[in-house]
Structure 1
Amino acid sequence: MKSKTLLFSLLTLLGLTVGFEAEAQFGSLFQKAKDKAAQKASEAIDKKTASTSSSSSSTSSGAPKSSKIIINSGFDFVPGDTVLFSEDFASLPVGASTKALKTNGSATIVSVNTESGKWLSLADHATYKFSKQIFYPKHFTVEFDILTAADKISDIYPVNFGFVTDNSVRDYISSGGAYVQLKYYNNDDVSINSEFVSKYLNSNFDLTTFTNRKMHVSMVVDGDRLVVYLDQTKLADTMAFLPTTAKNLYISGPMQYQNGAKAMVSNFVIKGFKKV
């Protein structure tokens, strides 16, 4: 009897042990299956996230950063090939007067610490013309630099340059003939006018960016037409002269300066074109 009882106990213990081992193996297999399924789900999510991120990045990089249109009109100025007149005042000492230009005011040569070369300081209520009469051909170009010194550009009121029929400096020319008016006091206002043909054009051009630095002026005269560029920006290409209009270049200093401001000019080059 005791033997049967002992045998039953051993069989029961063996069954429990086998059951536990089977359950453990099944549990291990089930856990592995769960881990594998979780890994696949994670990989699927990662792929979707990467695809979305790539699509978003592509759209962002492919789209323009701004909807503003930038217009480039180029710089088509072509100077003449034959020098008619040039003057940069390099041979004159600071404080001297120049004989190359005549004026109804003063014509003092100065230097500045921020720009190389010598400059003609424009006096207020003074007009300047070349001392030597220049006989301009039908087609010619004019170039020179304007340099301002000011706490703010609106302290200059204004600077004019252009062409009139005579070469006299008896009077101050506040406006006359075919001329460009730099209205520094308005910060961004330039007018190109011709009293010969009654034409008056206004342009917006930021003059504040030329406070305490030079601005290059380029002009083309071709028969009755006048083309004006300020620092490579074309502001006018228009009829400004009659067929018989005589031309003499002039520059007029401001009607007034404020707070010690000053305008200066230099680097004049006038060129014609050889006949073909």
Structure 2
Amino acid sequence: MKHKQLLLSLLTIAGLVTGFNANAQFGSLLQKAKDKAAQKASDAFDKKTSSPSSSSSSSSSTSGAPKSNKVIINSGFDFVSGDTVLFSEDFSNIPVGSSAKTFKTNGSATIVSVGGESGKWLALADNATYKFTKQLFYPKHFTVEFDILAAADKISDIYPVNFGFVTDNSVRDYISSGGAYVALKYYNNDDVSINSEFLSKYLNSTFDLTTFTNRKMHVSLVVDGDRMVVYLDQTKLADTMAFMPTTAKNLYISAPMQYKNGSKVLVSNFRIMGFKKV
């Protein structure tokens, strides 16, 4: 009897141990399955968040976020050239190395060509002022256009270029500043002033001149009675009173007082236009 009871107890213990091991193995398998499913879910989520569609969804979801308070102003380009030619000169008929006959100066007026730029150019000598050889009689309303090319290693190697209108057509002396004029202060990199000595008016403006190193810049002017509008490469810098009602006008360009490191300023493609009377 004792042997039977002992055998029965051993069998019972063996059964419990077997059941425990089976349950342990089953639990281990179940945990592995859970871990594997969790890993797949994680991989799927990572793939979804890194996909383009998710990126666009993310960007669209943030599009409603507050935007920058910076205001971007676009003034447009409202310049309108006249419809009647008063003067035109691109130096195309003048041999390179010759002097421009349509301009007079207290310096030299040599015509040159420029590598990488089409057409011919008038090279401005230092401390020289340029005016038209034949005096023009401007109407009340007219436009002026021409190109400026600043050739330099650094734009700051060029001292100011001035252009505008004075009352006489003489080139006896160099005009460092005079009348109603625009001053391109290349040596300051981004400094332009629009001044009128007729009205004792001086306006300072910021315009990045460094971006026009070895690249032409188009100048557009509108004169309408006593007002002058100034554009540099389609950027309007001034629209202001510049003349007295009876002020005589003669266009001039004054070269830099000083060049450094072989720099040079050239001009071309002049066009003065009037407007037909309606």
> TM-score interval w.r.t. the shorter chain?
0.7 to 0.9
C-alpha deviation, 1:269, in angstroms = 1.1
1:201 aligned onto 2:203: yes
The residue type equivalent to 2:160 in the other structure is: P
Greater alpha carbon shift after TM alignment, 107-116 vs 30-39: 30-39
Question: Residues 148 and 60 of structure 1: is their aligned pair in 2 closer, same or farther, counting only changes over 3 Å?
Answer: farther
Matches within 5 A, 1:42-191: 58=59, 62=63, 69-191=71-193
Q: Tell me how many residue pairs correspond in the alignment.
A: 273
The 1:44–1:236 alpha-carbon spacing in structure 2 relative to 1, beyond 3 Å, is: same
CA–CA distance in 1 between the matches of 2:137 and 2:70? 47
| Equivalent position SS for 1:257 | coil
Structure-2 separation of matches of 1:65 and 1:153: 37
Deviations 1:63-114 (A, max 9, x none): 6897755433322222222222111101111011111111222111011113
**Structure 2: unaligned runs, 5 residues or longer:** none
Once the two structures are TM-superposed, the CA of residue 254 in structure 1 deviates from its matched residue by: 1.7
Distance across 1 between alignment mates of 2:94 and 2:251? 22
Distance 2:8 2:260 in 1: 117
SS in 2 for 1:157: coil
The one-letter amino acid paired with 1:178 is A
Distance of 2:146 and 2:106 partners within structure 1: 21
Find the aligned partners of 2:161 and 2:132 in 1 and give their Cα distance.
17
Equivalent position to 2:26, from 26, 29, 44:
29
Aligned partner of 1:218 in structure 2 is 220
Please tell me the residue identity of whatever aligns with 1:142.
V
Query: What TM-score, normalized to structure 2?
Result: 0.83
Residue 148 of structure 1 aligns to a residue whose secondary structure is strand
- Structure 1 residue 199: Cα displacement: 0.7
How much has 1:206 moved relative to structure 2?
2.1
**Secondary structure of 1:169's aligned partner:** coil
Following superposition, the deviation at residue 20 of structure 1 comes to: 4.8
Paired residue secondary structure (1:90): coil
Q: Which has the larger radius of gyration?
A: 1
Structure 1: which 5+ runs fail to align? none
The two structures, once aligned, show a CA RMSD in angstroms of 3.5
1:105 and 1:58 map into 2 onto residues whose CA distance is 62
Identity in percent: 74
- The letter of the residue matching 1:25 is A
Please state how far the C-alpha of 1:240 moved relative to its aligned partner.
0.4
Tell me which residue corresponds to 2:268: 266
Letter in 2 for 1:23: F
Aligned to 1:145, what secondary structure does the other structure show? Answer: strand
Taking a change above 3 Å as real, the CA distance of residues 48 and 112 of structure 1, as seen in their structure-2 partners, is closer
Q: Mean alpha-carbon deviation: is it higher for 29-38 or for 202-211?
A: 29-38
CA–CA distance in 1 between the matches of 2:43 and 2:71?
A: 39
Return closer, same or farther for 1:47/1:151 CA change in 2, 3 Å cut-off: closer
